[in-house]
């Protein structure tokens, strides 16, 4: 990373942290008196747009979205690959209101966590996977019935650019049980905003929104099949944008 880019990154984080502290503090006193849609816009949308603006101005990171016409009118389950913090900013501002799965401990962080708690997140205990799945199923269903988008990163954690983690079935199970589709999303944010380290690269992040995917039936088999279909689509989309290497074509060698 060049000295100039290092300086720009420093000021980016300085302004991002300062704006987060100020906005979360203000939200703590203002948001409780707003309706949920207005509260979501006040806390999440406006600040995330600010974060994206800082990202564009100081880091030189832009975004190109394709497939926006595929977004259904009724909120459903969004399944996206997870490479960085950037996509949480972007998706939280792009889809509203939106709830996402997060670690329960984050809600105890002063001001930031208190503000997040007012956005109806699906807070889970990652040390108890069985209880976490039940929380996702129960709270996620309630959110969907209230016409709130539910964002799930099926890989469970951030995965380095150029790799794809195994998709868990929690998101597809939630969609199937709610009789709603999943909206698949693929991106290459990790190319410019790596999983580890402070260094950032200027460029244009590609975000691809696929057509809504429905399960073929119900039950565990339908959930597993839909989950596999979503992961295959995501890998193909990442491969098309150059994030993954092409699939090796195996040829049969004739033996005389």
Q: Per DSSP, what are the bridge partners of residue 209?
A: 185
Tens of pLDDT, residue by residue over 188-224, are: 999 999 988 888 999 999 999 999 999 998 899 999 9
Mean pLDDT of 53-79: 97
Classify residue 216 by its DSSP letter: S
Percentage of residues of the chain with pLDDT beyond 70: 96
pLDDT in tens, 113-161: 878 888 999 988 877 878 888 888 999 999 999 999 999 999 988 999 9
What's the rounded Cα separation, in Å, for the pair 150 and 156? 15
Choose between 247 and 154: higher pLDDT: 154
What is the pLDDT, as a whole number, of residue 254?
45
Residue 58 has pLDDT above 90, yes or no: yes
Residue that wins the pLDDT comparison between 232 and 30 = 232
pLDDT at position 1, please? 64
Least confidently predicted of 5-19, 71-85, 117-131, 194-208: 117-131
pLDDT at position 25 is 85
Question: What does the pLDDT average to over 47-63?
Answer: 96
- Tell me the domains of the chain and their CATH numbers: 3-240 (3.40.1130)
SS (H, E, C) the chain: CCHHHHHHHHHHHHHHHHHHHHHHHHHHHHHHHCCHHHHHHHHHHHHHHHHHHHHHHHHCEEEEEECHHHCCCCCCEEEECCCCCHHHHHHHHHCCCEEEEEEHHHHHCCCHHHHHHCCCCEEECCCCHHHHHHHHHHHHHHHHHCCCEEEECCCCCCCCCCCCCCCCCHHHHHHHHCCCCEEEEEECHHHCCCCCCCCCCCEEEEEEECCCECCCCCCHHHHHHHHHHHHHHHHHHHHHCCCCCCCCCCCCCCCC
Average pLDDT, the chain: 90
């Amino acid at each position: 990373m060049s000295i100039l880019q290092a300086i720009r990154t420093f000021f980016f984080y300085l302004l991002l942290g300062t704006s987060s502290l100020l906005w979360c503090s203000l939200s703590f006193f203002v948001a409780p008196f707003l309706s949920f849609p207005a509260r979501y816009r006040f806390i999440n949308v406006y600040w995330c747009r600010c974060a994206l603006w800082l990202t564009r101005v100081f880091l030189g990171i832009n975004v190109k979205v394709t497939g926006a016409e595929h977004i259904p009118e009724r909120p459903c389950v969004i399944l996206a690959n997870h490479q960085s913090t950037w996509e949480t900013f972007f998706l939280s501002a792009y889809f509203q209101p939106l709830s996402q799965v997060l670690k329960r401990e984050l809600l105890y962080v002063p001001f930031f966590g208190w503000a997040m708690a007012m956005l109806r997140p699906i807070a889970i205990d990652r040390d108890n996977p069985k209880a976490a799945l039940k929380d996702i199923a129960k709270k996620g269903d309630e959110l969907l019935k209230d016409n709130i988008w539910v964002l799930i990163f099926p890989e469970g954690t951030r995965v380095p650019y150029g790799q794809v983690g195994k998709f868990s079935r929690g998101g597809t199970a939630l969609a199937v049980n709610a009789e709603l589709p999943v909206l698949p999303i693929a991106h290459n944010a990790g190319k410019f905003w790596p999983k580890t380290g402070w260094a950032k690269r200027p460029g244009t992040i590609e975000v691809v929104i696929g057509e809504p995917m429905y399960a073929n039936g119900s039950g565990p088999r339908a959930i597993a099949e839909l989950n596999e279909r979503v992961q295959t689509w995501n890998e193909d989309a990442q491969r098309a944008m150059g994030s993954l290497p092409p699939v090796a074509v195996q040829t049969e060698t004739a033996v005389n």
